[in-house]
A and B are shown apart, each in its own frame.
Chain A
Amino acid sequence: MGKYIKFFLVGIFFGIVLVKSEAVSWYRIFEMFKFQSFHMYGIIGTAVGTGIILLLLSNQLKLKTIQGNLIKVPLKASGLKRYIIGGTIFGLGWALCGACPGPMYILLGTGAFSILIVIAAALLGTYVYGVLKNKLPH
């Protein structure tokens, strides 16, 4: 039980940041895809910029995980089709319901219970991908 507390705390922090940044708002996603505000680009841009710096630093300093291994990000398999096709399908859904997987859960906490329908549909979508996986181009 104790080993999970730190993950619970990270989750709480993540949920607070995404609500306070308004990144969980459908309106902000709409505005982003309309290029009418810098807000979301600023969030993603500074997140990635800070992430790059943190990872470069931890590489230089050879920082280790709590298990004692070097900190490193697992590599994504190389490929093109799965990323561009899958990514586009994801983007269509993201813009339609205004929520990606993180915000889906977080919105529950804000009392938006109709998001449960989106979550249920996302589970179904994941299941159908699992069924069709071997027939799809990757």
Chain B
Amino acid sequence: MKSMEYILEPWPWYVSGPLIAIVMFTLLYFGRTFGMSSNLRTLCAIGGAGKKVEFFKFDWKSQRWNLVVVLGAILGGFIAHYLLSNPIDIDLSEATVNDLSTLGFDNAGKSILPPELFSWNAVFSIKGLLILIVGGFLVGFGTRYAGGCTSGHAITGLSSLQLPSLIAVIGFFLGGLIMIHLIYPILF
């Protein structure tokens, strides 16, 4: 079947982008707002952070729907990776593969994540562990400070033409460019 082959191939950007917009719009139709990072705050609240810190004192039960979206997303990741994908490499640009090789990342695109950072060997080295911890910390801190992440600001905020979201997205790229162009050459 031809259509099944298209599903098993990687999806082009002009299919994926509109589908993400449909996710956003469907949640609005359900009376909710697309925002993945809010779940981090909710999980902190469930863990009891509200006993000590005002910011986490809110009715987290009203956010259960979003945790259900997360559970679905995890299952969706499983389905897409194990049932809906032909095992093929990510079609990265040649320049990217070369640049990564210079930084010490071999076999770029042969897996979703680079084993140089995410394999258990890497994770159990001091440097590898620090990269994941610092990276995750900055994401969690920055997203709450900015009041949203890629889903809340870049997709939902820009779609509704909100200036704060545009400023936040400029920040996302400013930080990303600094990391890749100025800090990576020192780290790797």
Which A residues contact B (CB, under 8 angstroms)?
3-4, 6-34, 36-52, 54-55, 58, 63, 65-67, 69, 71-80, 82-102, 104-112, 114-115, 117-131, 133, 136
Contacts and interface: CB of A to CB of B under 8 A. Distances in A.
Contacts of B54: 130
B188 to A, nearest CB: 11
Nearest to A42: B13
Contacts of B29: 63, 65-66, 71
Contacts of A40: 13
A47 B21 contact: yes
6 contacts: A17-B20, A52-B161, A91-B178, A93-B137, A112-B118, A125-B40
Interface residues of B, number: 127
A130 B75 CA distance: 30
Given A11-B70, A87-B171, A66 B30 contact: yes
Which one of B70, B109, B120, B155 has the highest number of Cβ atoms from chain A below 10 Å of its Cβ?
B70
The 7 closest A-B pairs by CB, nearest first: A87-B171, A11-B72, A15-B76, A91-B175, A109-B77, A51-B159, A125-B140
Which one of B53, B74, B109, B156 has the highest number of Cβ atoms from chain A below 10 Å of its Cβ?
B74
A110 B109 CA distance: 15
A12 B79 contact: yes
A97 B119 CA distance: 13
Nearest to B172: A91
A118 B112 contact: no
A79 B99 CA distance: 38
Interface in B1-51: 7, 10-33, 36-37, 39-41, 43-44, 47, 49
A90 B172 contact: yes
B176 A11 contact: no
A96 B131 contact: yes
Contacts of A96: 131, 134-135, 138, 179, 183
A10 B27 contact: yes
Contact of B112 (A43, A63, A84, A112): A112
Given A51-B24, A87-B167, A125 B142 contact: yes
A31 B90 CA distance: 11
Contact of A122 (B119, B140, B169): B140
Contacts of B114: 26-27
A47 B128 CA distance: 33
Given A42-B17, A88-B171, A123 B44 contact: yes
